[in-house]
A = this chain, B = another copy of it.
Amino acid sequence: MAKLLIKTVGIVGIGLIGGSLAKDVRTFGLAQRIIGWNRTRAHADRALELGLVDDVAESVEALIAQADLVVLAMPVNVLTEQLPKFLDSARPGQVFIDVGSTKMAVVNAVAQHPNRKAFVACHPMAGTERSGPDAALDHLFRNRFTLIINPEGSDPEALERVTRLWEAVGSVLAMMDAETHDQTAALLSHMPHVLAYALARTIKEAERNQALNARFAGGGLASMTRIAHSPISMWQPIFCQNKAFLLSAIDSFKEQLDAFRKAIDTDDNELLNQLMK
């Protein structure tokens, strides 16, 4: 990655993902300048203080006016609603990417947009349960997949720049259509998040009703409920947008859980062993 990729990168949403990408863009010298904007002004100020960005834009519009590559790291419902408006103002050569966890809704929202080709839909399969600029990590994307969705909808040059960006930060790329993506994400990410939230709530309720002392928990429970600390404001719209695949994934899990429950209930150790294998 000898050649400088981008003059100005603009990051809308300097949190875990946006902030981590900003760190890598700086580390690998991928842009001359990084500007940011955040709905929560205190987060934008903190991102500036942490050196994640060189400047904070006064508005999303001001950021878009200055940036050659715009990274939209925002809740998927806000993204879906606002992307058409952002694309309205796209300049020749300007590229927009998102990092959202659902793709059918956003891709459909801009399918007929005259500037659709300026948008490259991306989903880096990386993150933690933390949020905000202080959660940003170096090398978050290294050796993790970044899924590029419906690449045929994007301008080949835009696609080339975006794939080089992800490769430069160490990500492994895979291309797929939006429907395959949303089904894959439902099974590998969204449904497991629902399980983590439901498990955390089960423990809380047991503490309240049965005087369970959850302080005694070992590492297993912590590992199972870690992602239940993920922000609700980000996950609720994901569950909503990916409802059909998510419900189907939950039902697949429930079938397996019921098979385990039955094997335990009937002392069917042969079946239990087979299920656990």
A interface with B by C-beta (< 8 Å): 125-128, 144-145, 147, 174, 183-184, 187-189, 191-199, 201-203, 205-206, 210, 212-221, 223-224, 226-228, 232, 235-236, 239-240, 243, 246-247, 249-250, 252-257, 259-261, 264-265, 267, 269, 272-273, 275-277
Contacts of A189 in B (CB 8 A): 217-218, 220-221
Taking a contact as CB atoms under 8 Å apart, the answer to whether A126 and B218 are in contact is: yes
Shortest A71–chain B CB gap in Å is 18
Taking a contact as CB atoms under 8 Å apart, the answer to whether B217 and A125 are in contact is: yes
Shortest A103–chain B CB gap in Å is 13
Taking a contact as CB atoms under 8 Å apart, the answer to whether B253 and A254 are in contact is: no
Number of copies: 2
Shortest A68–chain B CB gap in Å is 28
Contacts of A224 in B (CB 8 A): 192, 195-196, 223-224, 227
Given the interface pairs A203-B188, A210-B183, A217-B189, the reply to whether A198 lies near B126 with Cβ below 8 Å is no
Question: Beyond A125-B218, A206-B252, A247-B264: 6 further Cβ-contacts under 8 Å?
Answer: A183-B210, A194-B260, A202-B255, A220-B227, A223-B227, A228-B276
The residue from B202, B217, B269 contacting A240, defined by CB atoms under 8 A apart = B269
The residue from B191, B252, B253, B276 contacting A232, defined by CB atoms under 8 A apart = B276
Shortest A56–chain B CB gap in Å is 29
The residue from B145, B216, B220 contacting A184, defined by CB atoms under 8 A apart = B216
Contacts of A219 in B (CB 8 A): 126-128
What are 11 residue pairs bridging A and B, where the CB atoms are less than 8 Å apart in the complex? Answer: A127-B219, A147-B216, A183-B212, A202-B249, A220-B226, A223-B223, A224-B227, A232-B273, A240-B264, A243-B264, A254-B257
Taking a contact as CB atoms under 8 Å apart, the answer to whether A174 and B216 are in contact is: yes
Taking a contact as CB atoms under 8 Å apart, the answer to whether A198 and B257 are in contact is: yes
Contacts of A267 in B (CB 8 A): 240, 243
The residue from B203, B223, B232 contacting A187, defined by CB atoms under 8 A apart = B203
